[in-house]
Amino acid sequence: MNRSRDNWHTHGEPNWPDGRKAGDRYGSCQCALRSLRTAFIGIVALVLGTVVLGQDSHARMPDDRNRDAQWRDRGDDGEVYMRSSPRARHRDPATRRKRIIIPHREAVDAPCMSIEASARLKAAYDRWIADPNTSRRYIANRNGDGVLANNEPEVAESLITMYSATGDITYLHEAATHALTILKLRDDFTGHPDYSGRARPVWSTTNPKYVNAGRPFGFLGESAWLSFPMAYFAWTVRTNPSVQAIPHASGQSLAELADRFLLEIEKTIDHHAPDWHTDHKHEHPIGYYTTSTDFSDAVGLRPGAIEPMNFQSSMGRLLAMLYLATGHQGYLRQAQHLAAFLLYDLRYIPKMDSYQWGYWPRTPYYPNRVRSHANADDLSHAGLSVDFMEMMARHRLGIFGPLEMRRLTNTFLRNLYRGRVGVFAARVDGGDGRAHVGHLGRFVSLNRWSRRVASILNETLLRSASDRYPSSTLVLLGTARLLAGSDGVSEVPRACS
């Protein structure tokens, strides 16, 4: 039995924090004793600052008392829905949803950050971004060697996040310059043809690590990575009317640049459209991408093979951001199909109440073109899937909700974190040695869902503030997210009193 099906439903009666089940009856003495014991445990946990019974604090929020109310999605009419009885899970999804009105209580408050710590982080970020070796080195050339796609998106995204954190328009101007440069380095602007002999709206690479015989090819993941800062910029500008008329050095206003970026991203998405597939699993629609059927020189990928999970997630987060920027339902549906694909592929570990997943999808959605891969995803690529899942939950776009976020934070706390600040496993199952701390930048989005995760990541990335250079561009992004609350669009961290 595929245990990931449990991700869609929760079973059994709700459990209360003191161990009772709904419907239990106690005598007055027993009730009083249990109340005293519960109060004592609560006081000890509060004083010691520990987590009761080894669980994350968010895992014991009151919402856990009714887990059926934790899974909900947003319908095409914009209303919030939840799953009804688990017994209805084999019926059409539309018949097992009912409209409810619920308070928006998914996330916990971010822990406070001292004014001194915030100042140190901002000073470090400004020092790094002022150095051309950090800020401009990756946009000096097109993506032939793959360096542009593997580094520049985090730089551009961090600049937009810093604008959200500080309100300083200088960051947004610099982000616009970076996004515009990314666009101008696309093959159809540079005139560089790919393997087909045509210059198409992708950023092709000839790096022998990715392609054989030096044949240029534009990978799905790299298209998504390099398009995302443009979509993020467009959403930021469109949701901040006060900056829309501000002119940019290119001669266009920021609003005009945002509109241009959205039109150009659509060309890239259309390029990959022939490789998009839809299917159903347990009567629920899913979607995923495969590699081009007419290209046989991608390293490790057969023509028509299913793409790696981080590629699927990267397209998912791009489509979700495009929906937020435009409101087009087509983007939302496609993002939801990709989210469902990812959710069904997650492996739920009941003992740890956490998730594991592979670099490659493990379920053969596409017959004869998928092989099983046992290796768990590595930290740097897993961060892209974490970003996608968290974005869907944070904006209440469906598929992922508070229950999935709790399990995802447990993946961080129980699989990745090794009990000491700065020491993390390299894979999401807790294996394969020690991870590079710089790869944690995307996991800062989980700060929103767990105070414990926030405390660990805050202290870990704060240690990098004294470095002369960031150890990776993900440190730039992680630092910006810490300053912005968690993701560049939530509240700025509260100052400690």
Q: In this predicted model, what pLDDT tens digit does every residue of 310-326 receive, in sequence order?
A: 999 999 999 999 999 99
| Res 255 pLDDT > 80 | yes
What are 228's two structure tokens? 């995302």
Q: Which residues contact 321 (CB under 8 A, 6 or more apart)?
A: 228, 231, 232, 235, 391
Q: Which of 204, 173, 174, 175 is nearest to 187 (CA)?
A: 204
**pLDDT over 70, % of the chain:** 73
| Res 22 pLDDT > 80 | no
What are 10's two structure tokens? 């929760």
Across 90-112, average pLDDT? 37
Q: Which residues contact 152 (CB under 8 A, 6 or more apart)?
A: 138, 139, 178, 182, 226, 229, 473
Q: Which residues contact 17 (CB under 8 A, 6 or more apart)?
A: 38, 52, 60
What confidence tier does 494 reach under pLDDT thresholds 50, 70, 90?
very low
> Which residue type does 234 have?
A
What are 494's two structure tokens? 């509260």
> Which residue bears the tokens 């971004």?
129
pLDDT recorded at residue 490:
41
Q: Which of 9, 190, 6 is nearest to 83 (CA)?
A: 9
CA distance 101 to 359: 37
22, 14 contact by CB (below 8 A): yes
CA distance 359 to 273: 22
Across 209-235, average pLDDT? 96
Across 177-196, average pLDDT? 96
- 314 C-beta neighbours (distance < 10 Å), count: 29
Across 102-117, average pLDDT? 55
- For Cα atoms 310, 315, 319, give the angle at the middle one, nearest 5 degrees: 145
> Which residue type does 456 have?
I
| Res 163 pLDDT > 80 | yes
> Which residue type does 36 have?
L
| Res 74 pLDDT > 70 | no
What confidence tier does 492 reach under pLDDT thresholds 50, 70, 90?
very low
CA distance 281 to 296: 29
Radius of gyration of the chain (CA): 23
pLDDT recorded at residue 104:
31
Range in 400-404, 415-419, 493-497 with the lowest mean pLDDT: 493-497
Nearest-10 Cα torsion for 334, 337, 343, 345: -110
492, 130 contact by CB (below 8 A): no
CA distance 116 to 90: 54
pLDDT recorded at residue 117:
87
pTM for this predicted structure: 0.77
pLDDT recorded at residue 493:
43
pLDDT recorded at residue 431:
84
CA distance 496 to 133: 34
What confidence tier does 422 reach under pLDDT thresholds 50, 70, 90?
confident
| Res 191 pLDDT > 70 | yes
What confidence tier does 134 reach under pLDDT thresholds 50, 70, 90?
confident
